[in-house]
Structure 1
Amino acid sequence: MNIKLIPLLVLTATLTFLTPTANASLILGTGTSALVGGDLTDPENDGLVNSNVNYDATFRSSVEPGFGGGEFAFNVFDNTLTSRNGKWCCSGGNVWVEADFGTDRYILDMFTLSSANDVPSRDSDQWRILGSNDGINYTALYSYDVAGQSIWGSDRFEVVQFSNNADYNVNTAYSIFRYQSTSVVSGSNHQLGEIEFFGTKIPEPSTIAIFALGLIGLASRQFKK
C-alpha cells in the first residue's frame, strides 16, 4: 500500500461557525484494495453490490437513491471502486447522501473518500461531512473548500483518509453522517467513488441515565446496611 501525506486547507465547523485549521490527510492508495473495509455501514463486508442487502444503515440521498441503477447514490457504500455502477454520478454539483444508524450513536473517528473514474472536473471542490441525531439539524464535522481543486487532483480511484484529532476535532456522537457537495471543479456533473465511516459507539443518553440511577440505588442500599 502506497501511503503519503497531502496538505489540505480544512475548515472544521458547525453550520454557522467556521474555524480554519491546516492539516494533512492521508492517501491510502488506489483501487478497491486501498479501501479500509469494515466500516460502520457494513462491518462484515458482506453488503451486496447493486443491492441494498446486508448493510447496517439506512441510506438516503438528495437524488438518485438506490444501489446499482444508472450510477445511483448508494453505490458510494458498496465497498468497491469500479467504473459504471461502482460510483455515484452524474447529478448536479449540489447533492448529498447519508447513512442513518438508527438509535446507535457514534463519534466519527475516521472517514475515507475516494475518487471515481470519470474526468477530474466532476470531482467536488466544496464538500462537508455532517452529523445529526434527528435528520433535521446538522453540524459540520469537516469542511473542504478549495475552488477548482479536489482532494484527489487527477488521480482516479484514489482513497483519502481523514482522522479525528488530526484532520478535525469531534467529541459529540451522532446517529447520522452525511456527505454533502455544493460545487464541483468545473461543469455541472458530480461524481464520487466511495465513502467509509468509522466510529466509536456511545451508549444512548437514556441508557446512561438508567445505569446512573442503578448505581445511586446500589449506593443507597449499601449506606443503609
Structure 2
Amino acid sequence: MDPVFADFSTTPARLSNAVVGYHRCGVAPSHLALGSDGYIKLDFTTDGREEVAGAVLTVTTLGASVPMDVLLNGKAVAEGLAFPGAGGHGVPQDSVLSLPGELLMPGDNLLEIRSPAGEEELIRLTTITLDPAHDSGRAQRAMAARASTRSVFAFDTEQRPADSAVWQPTSRLLFHIDRGDRAVPAQLSWRGTDGAEAAIAFRPDMSGFRGHYRAADGVLGEFLGTLMDRWAYPDGTTDAPLHRFTTEEGQDGDWRPSGELRLLLDDGRATPVERVSWSDRRGNAASVTLSAAVTTAGGHAATGELLDITDTVTGVEASDEFEAAGEVARNLLRKSRSKWLVHDDTADLDFTLQRPAAVASYRLTSANDAPGRDPRDWHLQGSHDGSTWTTLDTRTGERFTHRFETRDFPFTNTTSYRRYRLRITDNAGGHEIQLSQVELLAGADHAPALAASDFIGYYGPAGEAPTGYRGTTVSGPESDAEGEGKEGPQEKLLAGNLTDSAQDLESAARLIGKLAEYLRTP
C-alpha cells in the first residue's frame, strides 16, 4: 500500500496517491474549514496484488476537537469521532483511528470525512494520513520528505508579556536555513543587534511553534506562531534579507570546504540579526555569529566614506537578458568576468536592497567584447515602492576605453531608497547592450545599519563532536459551502500537485482518469 496523505497546510494542497473532492468546505491558507453537513472525500488506490491487513488513519485538526463521521467505501467506521484534548489557539490535534482490512478494496477506495448536520463548530483540517497497520507513520515520513523541499517558512506570531494574560499579534516571522541537506528545523533562536532575542521550538509537522522572548527593553514574554505559508526556495525570499555563505568546517586549524549556507531570518523589526542558532530533526546543531560588513558612522567606517553595499542586493531584474547563453542579470553582482547581455539598444536594470540605503556612487564594468554594446546614455533612479521613481543621476556620451574597464560615477544623494534602477537609453552604436558588473556604494552615514558579511560559529553533526564553522559572503542571488443546484450538492475538486500525487506512470494515469471523472460530473 503506497502512503496516502493530504496536506492542507499549504496552497495548493500536497497530495500523495489521492484525489480530493469536497462540499461545504472553505479553503484557507493553512487548513480546510469543514462546515455543517459538509464533507471531503479522498479517492486513493491500494495494490491489488497486496493484501492489506488494516490501516491507521490520522486526522489532524486545529483547535478544539469537533465530532466527525468517518466512512470507508460507504461503510461507517466511526460516528461522532472526537478525541478530548486541550484545543484552542490554533493548536493542532491528532485523531487516530484503526481501519479494518476487510473494508479496504483492491484498487480504488474512497475515504469520507463528514461534519454532522447541525454542527455549529467548523472542523479545521490540516492533514490526513493513511498507513498500513504494519508500518504506522510511513505516510507521515513521506509527507515530511516531500515537504522538506519547501524550506522557506512564514509564521503569523503572537506574544504575551510575562505580566499579562492577553496575547498580542506581532510581526510575521520569515526564515530559511539550508546547508544543502534539506533538514527540517526543530529549534531556532536568534539575537538582534539591539539585544532583543528569542528562542522557539517547532511542532513536528511545522504547523506552529512555541517559545519565549526578551525585548530590547528587557521585557520577557511568551512567543507563539502559526504557519501562514511555506515555499520552495527561492519563492518567498524576494526583498528579504537573505544571506549566502561559502562555508568551511575545521578542527585544530585544519579547515575544509563544507558547501553553501543560506540564511534568512526576518522577525519584522528594523534591527538586523547578529546571531542565529538552530537544530534539525536529524539531531544536527549549529550556531553562527555574523560580522558587520557595513556599519554606521561611529563604527568601522568614517563619516563621508563610501562603502560598497552590493552584497545587500537581494535581487536584480532586467527588462530582458540572453538566458540561452547564460548572460543574465544576476551575473552583474558577481566579481567575475561573466556578463549580462540584452538584444536591444535600450534596457532597464532594477536592483532591490535588503534595506533602504542612500546610494551616492556606482561603478559600471564593461564586458568582454564589442565596444558598440557599451552603455552610452543612462539615468540612475531611486524608488521606495517600485512604482514611483526619482532620477538621481543622468549621464550622456560616456565611453569605456577598454574591455573590463571599471568606471566610478559619483553623485549627490542623501535619501535612502530600497530600489534602484539603471535605465539605459542608448548604447555606443551596436544592436545589443552588455555589462560585466554593477556595484552600488553608499556613504557610511547613510548606509544600512548592518549587513551580514562573514560568520564564525560551530556545527555539531548528530552523535559526533562539534567542529569549527565559518563562512564568507557570496555576492548576489544564487546561481544555482456553496453551489447547490437542483440535482443536489455540487462537489468541488481540491487543487493539488499532480507530480506530488502520482507515485509512478500507472498511478498518474489513474489520477488523470479520476480528475477527468470529477470534471465531467455536472
TM-score range, shorter-chain basis? 0.5 to 0.7
Q: Partner of 1:106 in structure 2?
A: 357
Q: Distance in 2 between matches of 1:110 and 1:125?
A: 17
Change (3 A) 1:131 1:180: same
Q: How far did 1:184 drift?
A: 0.9
Structure 2 equivalent of residue 117 of structure 1: 368
Aligned-partner Cα distance in 2 for 1:142–1:130: 7
State the distance in 2 between where 1:174 and 1:144 align: 20
Unaligned stretches of 5+ residues in structure 1: 1-37, 44-55, 204-225
1:157 is matched by which residue type in structure 2?
Answer: F
Query: 1:64 Cα shift?
Result: 2.3
Alignment deviations for residues 44-95 of structure 1 (CA, whole Å, 9 cap, x no partner)? xxxxxxxxxxxx41221211287x9531122111122x2xxx0111420111
Whether 1:73 aligns to 2:326 is: no
Residues of 2 paired with 1:58 and 1:115: CA distance? Answer: 21
- Of structures 1 and 2, the one scoring higher in RCO (CA 8 A, sep 6+) is 1
Q: Aligned ranges for residues 178-197 of structure 1 at < 5 Å?
A: 178-197=421-440
Q: Provide, for residues 166-190 of structure 1, a one-character-per-residue CA deviation record: whole Å limited to 9, x for no partner.
A: xx22121111111121111113211
Q: Distance in 2 between matches of 1:172 and 1:64?
A: 30
Q: Which of 314, 321, 328 is matched with 1:57 structurally?
A: 314
Provide the residue aligned with 1:95 in structure 2. Answer: 347
Give the structure with higher Rg (CA): 2
Corresponding position of 1:151: 399
Post-superposition Cα deviations, 1:166-221, rounded to whole Å, max 9, x if no partner, equal: xx221211111111211111132111111000223367xxxxxxxxxxxxxxxxxx
> For residue 40 of structure 1, what is the amino acid of its counterpart?
I
Q: Which amino acid aligns with 2:432?
A: N
Q: Would the aligned equivalents of 1:127 and 1:181 in 2 still touch at CA under 8 Å?
A: yes
Contact 1:122–1:190, Cα closer than 8 Å, also in 2: yes
- Do residues 141 (structure 1) and 388 (structure 2) align? no
Equivalent residue of 1:74, what SS? helix
In 2, are the aligned partners of 1:41 and 1:99 still within 8 Å (CA)? no
Structure 1 residues 77 and 202: alpha-carbon distance in aligned structure 2, compared to 1, 3 A threshold: closer
- 1:162 and 2:409 matched: yes
- Do 2:322 and 2:340's aligned partners in 1 also have CA atoms closer than 8 Å? no
Question: Which amino acid counterpart does residue 92 of structure 1 have in structure 2?
Answer: D
- Distance (whole Å) between structure 2 residues aligned to residue 162 and residue 184 of structure 1: 17
- Where does 1:204-223 land on structure 2 (aligned, <5 Å)? none
Partner of 2:447: 201
Change (3 A) 1:202 1:75: closer
Return the alpha-carbon distance in structure 1 between the equivalents of residues 440 and 365 of structure 2. 12
Pairing partner for 1:174 from 398, 417, 422: 417
- Tell me, what secondary structure is at the counterpart of 1:169? coil
2:403 alignment partner, SS class: coil
Q: Is the 8 A contact 1:129 1:141 kept in 2?
A: yes
CA distance in 2, matches of 1:202, 1:116: 29
Q: Is the 8 A contact 1:74 1:97 kept in 2?
A: no
Q: Does 1:39 align with 2:299?
A: no
- The answer to which structure has the higher strand fraction is 2
The amino acid that maps onto 2:388 is N
TM-score normalised over the length of structure 2: 0.25
Please tell me the residue identity of whatever aligns with 2:344.
Answer: G
Q: Secondary structure at the match of 1:76?
A: helix
| Higher fraction of helix | 1
Amino acid at match of 2:327: E
Change (3 A) 1:65 1:173: farther
- Provide the identity percentage: 27
RMSD, aligned CA = 2.3
